[in-house]
């Protein structure tokens, strides 16, 4: 595991152990899993509509690695429509107990359907049914109408496996920018930044004033 304590405030360049942002993220995430009381993978996801107006909401990060950060959603939802119009996004994971956060932004790509199928199969059956029953982000006349849809879809699939709806897909944020933030005394926070021009380009690392 990395030594992930913040450096002394001397303005030095990142240490050798901080040269790979995904390795550093993995270490931080393992620490968050051990310290956060619930949902250490919860992240605020920001997208923009065709007019450039932003929206932000909480989603669950379901995978990460050198290729990026993955989440799943209904492509017919508001966020899905915004991503269809502008395949770019930003996100932040904030771990209050650990006094840390990681934020990133970059282009978005679709997850391979086979990977989406595999993840969908791992979900609770009730969540699988919900993916069919919910017309996410669209007007709902009443809670009773949603409950009726859940009963209908439950009966439709009975005891058969629930297939993944075609509109329920995965997105991967391929970061061009990552920032690792550690709370410091008197708001003198540590901000370690990684940037690159394109996914195959090398990372440039540095620090920002708090």
187 is catalytic: yes
**What is the CA angle 39-60-58, rounded to 5?**
95
Instruction: Answer for the pair 81, 66: CB distance below 8 angstroms, yes or no.
Output: no
Using CB atoms within 10 Å of the CB of residue 26, give its burial: 0 to 12 exposed, 13 to 18 middle, 19+ buried: middle
Catalytic residue among 100, 103, 156, 187: 187
Residue positions counted in the chain: 210
Q: Are strands 204-208 and 190-195 parallel, antiparallel or unpaired?
A: antiparallel
Residues in Cβ contact with 76 at an 8 Å cutoff, skipping those fewer than 6 apart: 135, 136, 137, 138, 167
Active site residues: 187
């Amino acid at each position: 595991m990395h030594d992930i304590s913040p450096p002394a405030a001397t303005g030095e360049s990142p240490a050798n152990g901080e040269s790979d942002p995904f390795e550093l993220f993995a270490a931080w995430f393992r620490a968050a899993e051990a310290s956060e009381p619930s949902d250490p993978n919860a992240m605020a996801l920001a997208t923009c509509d065709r007019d450039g107006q932003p929206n932000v909401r909480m989603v669950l990060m379901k995978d990460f690695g050198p290729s990026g950060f993955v989440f799943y959603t209904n492509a017919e939802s508001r966020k899905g429509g915004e991503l269809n119009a502008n395949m770019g996004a930003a996100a932040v994971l904030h771990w209050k107990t650990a006094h840390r956060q990681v934020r990133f932004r970059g282009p978005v790509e679709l997850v391979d359907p086979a990977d989406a199928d595999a993840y969908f199969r791992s979900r609770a059956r009730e969540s699988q049914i919900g993916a069919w029953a919910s017309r996410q982000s669209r007007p709902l006349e009443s809670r009773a109408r949603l409950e009726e849809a859940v009963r209908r879809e439950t009966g439709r699939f009975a005891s058969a496996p629930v297939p993944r709806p075609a509109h329920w897909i995965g997105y991967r944020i391929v970061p061009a920018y990552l920032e690792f933030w550690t709370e410091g005394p008197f708001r003198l926070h540590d901000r370690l930044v990684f940037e690159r021009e394109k996914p195959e380009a090398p990372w440039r690392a540095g620090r920002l004033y708090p």
